[in-house]
Amino acid sequence: MTSLSYDEGLLEYGSQYSLGTNDGKEFRRVTFIGYKLMFGKQIMVFETQDSSKLTVNPSYHCWTLEENETHRKENSDG
């Protein structure tokens, strides 16, 4: 039996993203800092540019746009 996980390594710690939720709200240039448990459910935690914490329940999350692609360029060079 296998277990499916919401975390497939898509978000990198310390990288910047723009987020969209299914209610149309957008959060631009937030930094992914990890996951936390809230009432037994895993949530994603980001930090805004003014150092506020933003938590997102994956079931309300619609899209993620990576803001900084420098690590991808470095990996493709060599």
Residue 77 parent element (H or E): helix 70-77
Q: Which residue has the higher pLDDT, 27 or 67?
A: 27
**Is residue 34 in a domain?**
yes
> What is the rounded CA–CA span in Å between residue 65 and residue 56?
15
| Domains in the chain, number | 1
Cut 0.75: pTM above it: no
Tell me which residue range forms the domain holding 64. 16-77
Question: Is 51 in contact with 34 (CB distance < 8 Å)?
Answer: no
In a domain, 1, yes or no: no
Q: Report if residue 4 sits inside a domain.
A: no
**Is 38 within the bounds of a domain?**
yes
Residue 58 forms part of a structural domain: yes
Q: If you average pLDDT over every residue of the chain, what do you get?
A: 79
Task: Examine residue 21 and state whether it is found in any structural domain, yes or no.
Answer: yes
Q: Say if residue 73's pLDDT is above 70.
A: no
Q: pLDDT tens across 27-42, in order? A: 999 999 999 998 888 8
C-alpha 56/C-alpha 51 separation (Å) is 16
What is the rounded CA–CA span in Å between residue 31 and residue 67? 9
Q: What is the pLDDT of residue 1?
A: 44
Task: State the pLDDT confidence band at 6, using cuts at 50, 70 and 90.
Answer: low
